[in-house]
Chain A
Amino acid sequence: MEVFMDDAAALQISYSFSAASHADVHSLASFFGDDQDEFYCDHLRNVESSSAISASSYSSPPPAEYQWPAVAGDENLRLIHLLMAAAEALTGGQKGRELARVILVRLGELVVPAASAASGATSIERLVAHFIGALQGIVDGAGRGQIHRGFPSDEALQAFQLAQDMLPDDKLGHFTANQSILEAAAGERRIHVVDYDIKEGLQWSSLMQAMVSRKDGAPPPSLRITAVSGGRSAGKGRWSSETIQVTGQRLMEFAESIGQPLTFGYCRLDRRQMFRPATIRVVKGEALFFNSALLQPEFHQRTTASVRSFLTGAAELGARLVTVIKEERASGSAVIVGEENEGFVRRFTEQLQRYSAKMEALEAEFPKQGRAREMVERLILAPSVRVALSTAYCEREEPEESLEWMPAAGFRPVELSFFNLCQARLLLGLFNQGYRVEEDAPNKITLSWKSRRLLSASVWSPPAVAPANS
């Protein structure tokens, strides 16, 4: 599709450069032909004016320490603005989609393709390239169908390994949750852990190691791990029972290699992805723990209701502890784009900020390892963004982000021990100074990069349930 847009006049919905706005609108609109002129004019004007409203917030300096990645002149800023425009256009129905398509093509021309990132595209260019990809996917209607199928490629696995070393996120969440479990399970001989999203099972490798070397004597003779697998509609992705069984196999081999007896099993969510306590086999005398690591969601899993059903199920089954690791929204996110402007744009901006924070963190820590960073960005972070945006676009409802409902439902916070907090700080000490861990609440720590919150880990004890008649 041939698109001609004069650079200078190109969607200068540029808040701080407010050049001729109407001229731009018209020059762009004229491209689309007379009959559509009016719509596009209106739309662009809307976008423009709403951005004018948000001009102050958008162009104002971001929260204290957090900076957009180094902006080299106008080009980078324009890229971001175009991206934002595309995102906003997407909320405009069918015609909006067309507009977005046009913008994306233009963006594609301006940005060095991500594939040649090794050739030295700047971080902004890479960031934008990945977001272009994500938006393109939405425009092409691939949204719902974009489920990761099959086993990850070996390149993806290597990127995964790199990500584990380069980003503290997973480790912090895992270790914090594990430590609370360990403490609550001290002295227990039978332990059962139910995991909402087991992914590769990485979290349990260190839990098992810790059990093997725990102070109060021998490792527990009975350790069971049950992974939750998606309902039948989960397809072949990471949540399918096939994939989970492979993970289980791996975990059992690992367990054997360190001398920890392990039994692995899985249970299924129902068709609506809801957790049903009856699918868990409860053994008398077992200490039960429910873990939900909600990072890097796969598409269409993890609806709010699904997670809630899992956590309330924990209460029904009499679990000792519930551990929750989840992404955190930036605190006081400064970008508020017009009231009616849907969740999508807000979530888009959120993802933009989150992704750029992570890129910045990676760069700060590993300035010279461009290739490794590029792999992680492309194979770990970008897919996560794609999923988040697809979900945001397809599902009007916003997932419930906070856990505020929990205390109301009777969950009591469980204080994090000195050991746990100390561990978190020590772990972060191995990474760049820009990372920070804060104790938001006695039962919760939050990881931030500079002032941008990334994820949190919290520990709860479920409300006691009147014993069932059995």
Chain B
Amino acid sequence: MFPSKKPSMNSHERPICVQGDSGLVLTTDPKPRLRWTVELHDRFVDAVTQLGGPDKATPKTIMRVMGVKGLTLYHLKSHLQKFRLGKQPHKEFSDHTKDDISFQLYIYIYILHLKSCSRNVQITEALRMQMEVQRRLHEQLEVQKHLQMRIEAQGKYMQSILEKACQTLAGENAAAASSGCYKPGLMMEVAGAMKDIGSPVTFPSLQDLHLFNNDHLDHLHDGFFPCTSETLCLGPKKRPNPYSSPNGKSPMIWADEELPEEASKSPVNGGLDIESMTREVYEAKPMLSGDSAARRAQVPAPEMMSPMIRGGVLNQARNLSYG
């Protein structure tokens, strides 16, 4: 269902991973990246739960709760945002938007209708309905992914505005250059404010997008580079320098912070991998949506479908699940 479009990357070209003593898995390619392993993600999810859910938790508090050495706010911020974004389809289905209610009704009525049909028709109809559900889920998945990219684009552009401003001001006010545009006091505070925000829309990371396994992501992986808002990480054609201010200064706000690189998830090999990886990451998590969304879609009459279909569908749905 998810054919790999990246034949060039397979397991033996994956960068070697080492396990740090804090349990963090770092790769040894030229740019050490953080890998969100199953355990790490579990701890993350536990921490988030403890803190009252993804809407209440902030990167700072998560970091404290997790207490993992070497894990920085940046890692957490992007991971959190991914997490939040991915949690939604769960809400989508439970929102009473007319779309979804009528869709669920539609499913239900269909099931009722099935009861009166012959077995063959039942199977066909059931399959068709399942495809409908999957189509929906898939569409939503698409939207989510694109939304992510669009948010990032604006973030990146925003950064360029700030950088430009810095240069413009510095250029214009040679006399006032002492104040310049780099005011550590103000910016540290703002930086502090921004860190605290754990903003929903900054610093997204593509690192978990292995779950999506889609063409777009594959070619995003091409040029993929740590994807924090101050880096230029978009576009398949370029391998940009993340700190590209012409005068070599690092981007204003984060000047004092070390700028970590986000993990680049090793690209997907094929549908099976997706499924197993997905399952690994999300299987036992009751609050995550993937399975429950699939389950809910089937809820009307699970007993009506043959075990074969149901099993197949569950697997399919899990492929789509994105937490």
Residues of chain A having any CB pair with chain B under 8 Å: 151-152, 154-155, 157-158, 160-162, 164-166, 171, 174-175, 178, 200-202, 205-206, 208-210, 212-213, 246, 250, 253-254, 257-259, 366, 368-369, 371-372, 375, 418-419, 421-423, 425-427, 429-433
Query: A250 touching B161 by the CB < 8 A rule?
Result: yes
Interface pairs (26), CB distance under 8 Å:
A158-B253, A161-B158, A165-B199, A171-B201, A178-B150, A200-B161, A202-B157, A205-B154, A206-B151, A206-B154, A209-B153, A212-B235, A213-B146, A213-B149, A254-B160, A257-B240, A368-B58, A369-B193, A369-B196, A372-B193, A419-B142, A425-B95, A426-B88, A426-B144, A429-B91, A430-B81
**A212-B234, A375-B190, A425-B92 known; A430 and B201 CB under 8 Å?**
yes
A426 to B89, CA, bound (A): 8
Which residues in chain B, 177-205, are within 8 Å of chain A measured between CB atoms? 181, 183, 186-187, 189-190, 192-194, 196-197, 199-202
Residues of chain B having any CB pair with chain A under 8 Å: 55, 58, 81, 84-85, 87-88, 91-92, 95, 97, 99, 139-140, 142-144, 146-147, 149-158, 160-162, 164-166, 168-169, 172, 181, 183, 186-187, 189-190, 192-194, 196-197, 199-202, 216, 220, 232, 234-238, 240, 252-253
Query: A257 touching B235 by the CB < 8 A rule?
Result: yes
Query: B189 touching A202 by the CB < 8 A rule?
Result: no
A151 to B166, CA, bound (A): 11
Which residues of the other chain, B, contact A201 by a CB distance below 8 angstroms? 157
- Identify B168's interface contact among A151, A178, A372, A426, CB under 8 A: A151
Which residues of the other chain, B, contact A161 by a CB distance below 8 angstroms? 158, 161-162
Query: B237 touching A259 by the CB < 8 A rule?
Result: yes
Query: B153 touching A422 by the CB < 8 A rule?
Result: no
Which residues of the other chain, A, contact B168 by a CB distance below 8 angstroms? 151, 246
A171 to B153, CA, bound (A): 11
A257 to B225, CA, bound (A): 14
Which residues of the other chain, B, contact A418 by a CB distance below 8 angstroms? 99, 139
A174 to B154, CA, bound (A): 10
**A206-B150, A419-B139 known; A154 and B181 CB under 8 Å?**
yes
CB distance from A367 to the nearest CB of B (A): 10
CB distance from A4 to the nearest CB of B (A): 39
A166 to B196, CA, bound (A): 12
Query: A430 touching B84 by the CB < 8 A rule?
Result: yes
- Identify B194's interface contact among A165, A200, A431, CB under 8 A: A165
Query: B153 touching A423 by the CB < 8 A rule?
Result: no
A130 to B166, CA, bound (A): 28
Query: A422 touching B158 by the CB < 8 A rule?
Result: no
Nearest B-chain residue to A374, judged by Cβ: B193
- Identify B196's interface contact among A164, A212, A372, CB under 8 A: A372
Which residues of the other chain, B, contact A200 by a CB distance below 8 angstroms? 161
Which residues of the other chain, A, contact B240 by a CB distance below 8 angstroms? 257
A258 to B235, CA, bound (A): 5
Which residues of the other chain, A, contact B162 by a CB distance below 8 angstroms? 154, 157-158, 161
A119 to B186, CA, bound (A): 16
